[in-house]
Structure 1
Amino acid sequence: MEFKEFKEKLFKKAKKSGLDEFEIYYQDKESLSINIYKEEVEKYNLNKSFGVSFRAKYKERMGYSYTEIIDEDSIDMLIKNAKQGAEFIEDDDIQFIYEGDKSYEVVENYYKALENIDPEKLIELAIEMERECKKQSDKVDNFGGCGISYVNSSYGIMNSKGLDLGDKLNLLTAYVVPILDIDSKKYDGFGYATAKSLEEVKPEKIASMGIEEAMKKVNAKQIESSKYKTIINNEAMVSILQSFWSVFDADLAQKGISLLKGKEGDIIASNKVNIIDNPLLKDGLASVGFDDEGVATFKKSLVEKGELKTLLHNLKTAYKAGIKSTGSGFKSSYASPVSVGPSNLYIEKGEKTLDEAIKEVNNGLLVTEFSGLHSGANSITGEFSLAARGFKITDGKIDHPVEQITVAGNFFTLLKDIEEVCDDIKFPMSSFGSPSVVVKELSIAGK
């Protein structure tokens, strides 16, 4: 059965079954992932998936169902399961089938140059990344990973109120993790690229990035335990922001799980800090013209000069708060219910260069990497205790690499203690971005 016919029959039967408000969300996705090891294909995964979710208001509750097969039997199953699901819901939250907005921004996230890519060319590029690493350094002993991936997805939403939206996206990513052996010690680095065409994947540049990062770790030392004025570099700050973004989730706030509940209008950060959620960001990995409820998306300031302006809302949480949705109603997959989610979430860049910030800090620490974020960061309390590495700053210059340290603090305190924001904003293979930031002090456990 063709999708158009399936949709028309589903809507007709849903109406006959007594459902007045309902919608379908579909996703058609193809992904190819290739992993290389020692210049040979280690893994080759080609996945194709198609799914449809159906949700409907029944007895003033929203019921969900989904299918991967579109036929007559699926139509009956979707309606039946949505009704049954609605009957089992116990909360009184009001949910909506949205009639749509007057206009939607056009977001470019599909690139013709990525159509009909020959997998052999992807394999060649991935192998070339390994070769380039060995060519650029005779210290390359092994690889922690080397791969290239392509994804192509189309999706859309249609409902009983006349809403009919669709879009498509594609993206190419590549990475290599060279491991260097220097004086019998191992050092790894990470080189990567996101691309809109094969030509943008440059093995030489990616290899150089990975080797350079690995070399910066050579001869790292521990430092004394103390409180240090600290620069958190862009990629490390991205990992912090990604771990704590849920504090801006209005659904969690309304449930009392986020400490930002009722804090709109309060100062929660330094006046140097602006935090943006921008689904219309050019080349953003999460750029989209509408959310998964059909609400038109727009750029918004979550934090402006330290003041909390808004949380992220979907239709349900916005209704509770008596405001308009921020266009942040997203599904984690076609089979999932709508929740609250970010798009391109980032700290807005400042004016100082990283070199200027290092000079002004004079004596302190530059943190370049955090690990253990899944277990060492508590998004409810804001507390974190994380293994880290980076560089000692002495007399306004990078002194030596630092390892085997633990950084402890609180996310909310960190935001207030940011003294400078640099201009080096980065989105490292992520929809989260940040520049480097200068923090008044952080507790460092070393030797």
Structure 2
Amino acid sequence: MREGRPGRPGGRRHADPPGRPPHRRGHRGVSDPDDSLLRLARGLVERADAGEQLEVTIGESRRTTVRVHGGEVESFTSATSHGAGIRVIRDGREGFAHAGSLDPEVLDDTLAEARDNAAFATPDEHVGLVEPDGVVAIEVDHWRDESLAMAEPDKIARAVDLERRVRAGDPRVRSVRTAIWSDGASRVALASTAGLALATRGTSCSLSVSAIAGEGDDTATGAGVDAARAPGDLDDDAVVADAVHRATELLGGRPVASQRLTLVVEPRLAAMLLGIVAGTLTGDAVLKGRSPFADRRGDAIASPVLRLVDDPTDLRSLGADSHDGEGLATRRNVLVDDGVLRGFLYDGTTGRRAGTASTASAVRGSRSLPSPGVQVLVVEPGARSADELLADVELGFAVRSFNGLHSGVNPVSGDFSVGAEGRMIRGGALAEPVREVTVAGSLQRMLLDLREVGADIEWLPSGAGMASLVIDDVSLGGR
């Protein structure tokens, strides 16, 4: 159970270690040897009144961020934070309160506030805590001692060197907006009157940089990013190369004539598109009628080449986790199999409303109540490389960025129209750069027109495991 994932969206590729560890039901998640937070959470749970359900989440984290510009440290921040979220349920009434301190008197007040909030809540027969369901958690160890041992001068030097290398990477790079080193460590504990009790911990670090390139009056930006559990696992070379390439590739780009063509979507953008699709498959969206797929379970909603799962048990992902936000052991949930919609994602409350069980898909922070959500979205890769996919496209558009993707997609109807930049594909090869165009259509049509999924799976800083997508008959709006 995480307070958050390392890194930032987008960026470079993560190596794909051979073999995927199976979902082992005979192993438990790696717990935090420092059980002080768990003891505190359990102590609060023991104060539950008769007939009262009580859940406590407690977290502490420390984070360091170095921002470099012009070879100098622009800012250096280091902070430690604590928090506790308390949920009280009585007679179907749910109350929640949060505190930013673990002081005993503050926690006393927070418990009292949660009880007061429950007293004024509207009764809901489906509200309640989840109970253990017999699934044993996988082993996940996100803690790396070397992340905490790294000295502050070394963090600064890493960011300074990153900026310097990007500036020197291509004569067209005019400046670097900012180069950032970030690292953190967190501990989280959860306990409840339903018998759940767990404590986890994790470290993370990331490097990111944004470059500005130009030719004449034309300028473009590009970013590179990598995230890992330990400093030694970060690939500085790949971050530099990605930022320089993305900043220079689209220089000279112009709009093209409006037309229908084949869209080739690289993995990081595929994660955005399919992430929006997966977001419409959560219990909240389905039960509230805010999903175009609400009544389509068992139907073919996509091309048979698409197999999409939410799998926080996949240890290749930085987002892998042993437990969800309500304390249930995570599991692999199949969303789309051979194009057929197989299921939705539920937490405890939405599962009860739907007349089914939780899929262990609760996500949350210490400041919020749990809700169903995507944890680690993974697409099953195809058989051919990105170059092989490209070679089969006679006329197409290789997307390099979407502008306003989330605001440009209607999750209820599925319709979308978003700005885009990229390269034309002509005769199976990349051609001229293109900017100031729009891509329009609907999620439903896009899924059905999906021609192929690439073999080039990337494990992104967001945790998603994605590959390139080839989508036929897409509307490109230009001049």
TM above 0.5, yes or no, is yes
Match of 1:271 in 2: 304
Query: Alignment partner of 1:62: what SS?
Result: strand
Give the number of the structure with larger relative contact order, counting CA–CA contacts within 8 Å between residues 6 or more apart: 2
Query: Which whole-Å CA distance do the structure 1 matches of 2:123 and 2:47 have between them?
Result: 27
Whether contact under 8 Å (2:310, 2:377) holds in the other structure is yes
Query: Which whole-Å CA distance do the structure 1 matches of 2:438 and 2:463 have between them?
Result: 26
Whether contact under 8 Å (1:128, 1:203) holds in the other structure is no
Measured against aligned partners, the alpha-carbon deviations of 1:392-447 in whole angstroms (never above 9, x if no partner) come to 11111112211111111111211111011111122432133421111111111111
1:85 aligns with 2:117: yes
Residue identity in the other structure for 1:10: L
Query: Which whole-Å CA distance do the structure 1 matches of 2:38 and 2:220 have between them?
Result: 54
Match of 2:287 among 254, 260, 269: 254
1:394 aligns with 2:394: no
Deviation at 1:78, TM superposition (A): 3.0
Query: Which whole-Å CA distance do the structure 1 matches of 2:456 and 2:86 have between them?
Result: 43
Match of 1:67 in 2: 99
Match of 2:224 among 191, 213, 234: 191
Residue identity in the other structure for 2:97: S
1:321 aligns with 2:354: yes
Match of 1:225 in 2: 258
Query: Which whole-Å CA distance do the structure 2 matches of 1:19 and 1:376 have between them?
Result: 47
Match of 1:151 among 184, 204, 214: 184
1:134 aligns with 2:172: no
Whether contact under 8 Å (2:453, 2:470) holds in the other structure is yes
Query: Which whole-Å CA distance do the structure 1 matches of 2:40 and 2:240 have between them?
Result: 48
Match of 1:37 in 2: 69
Residue identity in the other structure for 1:231: V
Match of 1:420 in 2: 452
Whether contact under 8 Å (1:391, 1:400) holds in the other structure is yes
Residue identity in the other structure for 1:434: M
Whether contact under 8 Å (1:150, 1:173) holds in the other structure is yes
The correspondence of residues 201-212 of structure 1 with structure 2, limited to 5 A, is: 201-212=234-245
Measured against aligned partners, the alpha-carbon deviations of 1:87-128 in whole angstroms (never above 9, x if no partner) come to 322252412223324421111322233122212111101110
Where does the alignment leave 5 or more consecutive residues of structure 1 unmatched?
none
Query: Which whole-Å CA distance do the structure 2 matches of 1:146 and 1:75 have between them?
Result: 39
Higher fraction of helix: 1
Matched residues, percent identical? 25
Measured against aligned partners, the alpha-carbon deviations of 1:216-264 in whole angstroms (never above 9, x if no partner) come to 1123232110111221222222222334432011122111112222321
Greater mean alpha carbon deviation, residues 73-82 or residues 376-385: 73-82
Match of 2:47 among 13, 20, 35: 13
Q: How many residues align?
A: 443
Compared with structure 1, are the counterparts of its residues 29 and 363 closer, same or farther at alpha carbon in structure 2 (3 Å cutoff)?
Answer: same
Query: Which whole-Å CA distance do the structure 1 matches of 2:77 and 2:276 have between them?
Result: 29
Match of 1:439 in 2: 471
Deviation at 1:75, TM superposition (A): 4.3
Query: Alignment partner of 1:162: what SS?
Result: coil
Compared with structure 1, are the counterparts of its residues 253 and 308 closer, same or farther at alpha carbon in structure 2 (3 Å cutoff)?
Answer: same
* Root-mean-square deviation (Å): 2.0
Where does the alignment leave 5 or more consecutive residues of structure 2 unmatched?
1-35
Match of 1:359 in 2: 391
Q: With the length of structure 1 as denominator, give the TM-score of the two structures.
A: 0.93
Greater mean alpha carbon deviation, residues 143-152 or residues 302-311: 143-152
Greater mean alpha carbon deviation, residues 290-299 or residues 84-93: 84-93
Match of 2:403 among 366, 371, 387: 371
